[in-house]
Amino acid sequence: LSSKFSGIFEGMSKRGLLSEADVSEAMREVRLAMLDADVALPVVKDFISRVKEGAVGKEVLDTISPGQAVAKIVNDALVESLGGAGVVPLSFNAAPPVAILMVGLQGSGKTTSSGKIALRLTAREHKKVLLASLDTQRPAAQLQLAQLAEQAKVACLPIVSGQPPLEIAARAMDTARREGYDVVILDTAGRLSIDEALMAEVGAVKTLVNPHETLLVVDAMTGQDAVNTAQAFKAAVGLTGVVMTRMDGDAKGGAALSMRAITGTPIKLVGSGEKLTELEEFYPERVASRILGLGDIAGLVEKAAETIDEEESEKLALKMLKGKFDLEDYAAQLRQINKMGSITGIMDMLPGMGKLKEAMSGKDIDTSILDRHLVIISSMTKGERKQPDIIKASRKKRIAAGSGTSVQEVNRLLKQFNDMSAVMKRFNKLGIKGLMRQGLG
Ligand code: GDP
Ligand code: MG
C-alpha cells in the first residue's frame, strides 16, 4: 500500500493546479491501493467519496502545492476513519478490582496480550494486577499464562485443575477483592471459529464479573475476517475495545481501517511482536501516515526513547523532524536497531525503509546487511559522512576496497540513505509536523 501511495502525490505537485481530474486520478490510485491492503470495499467507497468532497473545489493555499493539499486531505480523512486523533486509553474508572475480559478466537493472541497488558499496567501505571486463565479448552493454556505472569513478574491465580471457567472467574474476583488487587485480567478460551458455545461461555463470564473492559483480540493479518469476528463478538457479548495483534507483520493498517469504520469499536492497543514488551498504543495519526507511506516517525522515536537514553533520542527526533541527518546519524540508527528488538517492526516505522525490507522479504531478515552498512560507513572519511554528495566514483572504489565490499554495495547504501532523506523532506513539507508532535508529547 505505502509504495503505491508514495508516488501519487509527487506527480501531482509538479503540475501546479488542483483540478477535479487531478483529484479523481489520485483517488483511483488510492482506491486500488486500499483494496490491495484488504480494506473492506464499503469502507473504501465511503473513504473515497469523503476525500473527493473535501478536495474538489477547495482553494489551494499559495504556500503549499496541490499535491500537498490533497495528501493532507487524504491523511486527515484516514485519521478520521481510524477513530480521530489521539489514543483511546484503557478505562479504570470504577471501584477496584476492575476486571478486564479478554476475548477472541483461538490463536489470535489473547494469552500473550493478557501478559503484555499486565506488564504494562504494573510497570507503567503501578497497578497491582492479577492474571487468571479461564481457558480450560487447551491442556497447557493455564500453564502458558502462568509462565507469562512469571516473566512479567505479575501475580497469577493458582491453577485448580478441573475447575470450570465460571468458577475460576468467581475465584479470581474473590481473591482480588480479598487481597486488594487493582485490576484482574481474565484470559478466556477461544475456538477456531465463532460458535454458540464460545459466545455462551464468554457471555456467562461477562454477566458474572461485569468487566469494565471487554477487549477483543484479533490478528491484523486476517484482514476482513478480523472485522467479521469483531461484528459477531460485538453483537453477542458487547465490546469496549480491540487489541490488534501481529501489526509487526505485513499488515499495513488495512484491517485497522475497516475495523474501526465498520464496528465503531476503538482499537486501543496494538501487538507488535511476540515479546511481552511489544505492545503499543494505537495512534490513528501514525497508522494513517504509515498507510500513506511516510513512515511512523513518531512511533520510532517513542520506541527509541525507551531503549536509548533520552538525550540521544531527542537529538535523533529533532534531526528526523528537520530532515537534517547525515550518514553518521544513519549509522547511529543502525546501531540502535539491534537494541530495539524486532527489525521488521523498526523498518516499518523508518521512512523509506520499505524498499530495503522488500529486498529482504521472503527470507529471514538478514541483519548482516545492516552490519555491512555500518562497515561501509566506517570506511568513509568524516567529510564523506557529513556530506554524502561528494562520494563519486573514485571515492566509492576506495570505500568498497576499504570495507571489503563492492561498489554496488556502496551504491545500494547511498541509495537507501537518499530515499530516506527524500521521504523525510517530503514528510516535513506536508505540514503534519504538528500532528507528529502531538504524538511525541
Ligand atoms: P491465544 O490462543 O489467543 O491465547 O493466542 P496466544 O496468546 O497463545 O498467541 C498465539 C501465538 O501468536 C503465539 O505464538 C504468540 O507468541 C503469537 N503472538 C501474539 N501476539 C503477537 C504479536 O503481536 N506479534 C507476533 N508476531 N506474534 C504474536
Ligand atoms: Mg490462550
- Contact by Cβ (8 Å): 130, 250: no
pLDDT at position 400 is: 92
C-alpha cell at 20: 477535479
pLDDT digits 0-9 by tens, 162-211: 999 999 999 999 999 999 999 999 999 988 888 888 999 999 999 999 99
Same domain, 52 and 104: no
Give every CB contact of residue 80 below 8 A, 6+ residues apart in sequence: 50
Phi, psi of 281 (to 5 degrees): -70, 155
For ligand 1, is residue 115 a contact (CB within 6 Å)? no
pLDDT at position 305 is: 45
Question: H/E element holding 48?
Answer: helix 41-55
Same domain, 76 and 114: no
| Number of domains present in the structure of the chain | 3
Ligand having the closest approach to the CA of 142: 2
For ligand 1, is residue 274 a contact (CB within 6 Å)? yes
Same domain, 125 and 170: yes
Ligand 1: which of 142, 145, 274, 282 to mutate, judged by most atoms within 8 Å of the beta carbon? 274
180 domain-assigned: yes
Helices (H), 292-339: 297-307, 310-322, 327-339
Q: Which residues form the domain of 30? A: 2-81
Same domain, 41 and 108: no
pLDDT digits 0-9 by tens, 222-256: 888 889 999 999 999 999 999 999 988 766 677 88
pLDDT digits 0-9 by tens, 87-117: 888 988 888 999 999 999 999 999 999 999 9
Residue 4 has pLDDT above 90, yes or no: no
305 domain-assigned: no
Q: What pTM was computed for the model?
A: 0.66
- Count Cβ neighbours within 10 Å for each residue of 120-134 and write b for 16 or more, e otherwise: bbbeeeebbbbbbbb
- Contact by Cβ (8 Å): 253, 149: no
Same domain, 116 and 77: no
Residue 248 gets which letter from DSSP? T
Q: Give CA–CA dist 30/47, Å, rounded.
A: 10
Q: Per DSSP, what are the bridge partners of residue 281?
A: 269
- Please report, for the domain that includes residue 186, its CATH number: 3.40.50.300
Mean pLDDT confidence for 148-156: 97
- Please report, for the domain that includes residue 17, its CATH number: 1.20.120.140
64-68, 133-137, 358-362, 435-439: the lowest-pLDDT one: 435-439
pLDDT at position 304 is: 46
Same domain, 113 and 234: yes
Q: Per DSSP, what are the bridge partners of residue 148?
A: none
